Amino acid sequence: MADIKRIPIGPLGTNVANNLRRIREQRHMTYTELVKQLAAIGHPIPILGVRRIERRERRVDADDLACLAAVLGVDPWALTQPPQCDACNGAPPAGFTCNACGTSAVPSAA
């Protein structure tokens, strides 16, 4: 097998994961619905793939980002930015998830 190094997902990727979950849940959009809409615009990602993106186990490439943004109806760059949240300022303490916006803390480099 190829020796693929796992590079930890960085801050923008972490924001994408958090924003995807937050916006999807705000819209009451199920994984099935999201996946169906991704397929409809010609960029199918399996449900497992979406779950892994939200869990920061799968990287989001440029095409994933553009299509996720299209399906969610947001700007692609906005998906990479921390949410505007008065409760946590987009950065809850390590190990915590903000109840207001659903953002999880960026795991400390490990």
Size of the site for Zn ion (CB under 5 A): 6
Q: Could you report how far apart the first and last alpha carbons of the chain are, in Å?
A: 25
Q: Cβ 102 to Zn ion, closest distance in Å?
A: 7
CB 94 within 8 A of CB 15: no
Q: Based on CB atoms, which residue is closest to Zn ion, 13 or 82?
A: 82
Site string for Zn ion, 63-102 (x = CB under 5 A): ----------------------x-xx---------x-xx-
Site string for Zn ion, 15-44 (x = CB under 5 A): ------------------------------
Q: How far is CA 99 from the centre of its chain?
A: 17
Phi, psi dihedral angles at 104 (to 5 degrees): -95, 145
CB 82 within 8 A of CB 92: no
Contacts with Zn ion by CB under 5 A lie at: 85, 87-88, 98, 100-101
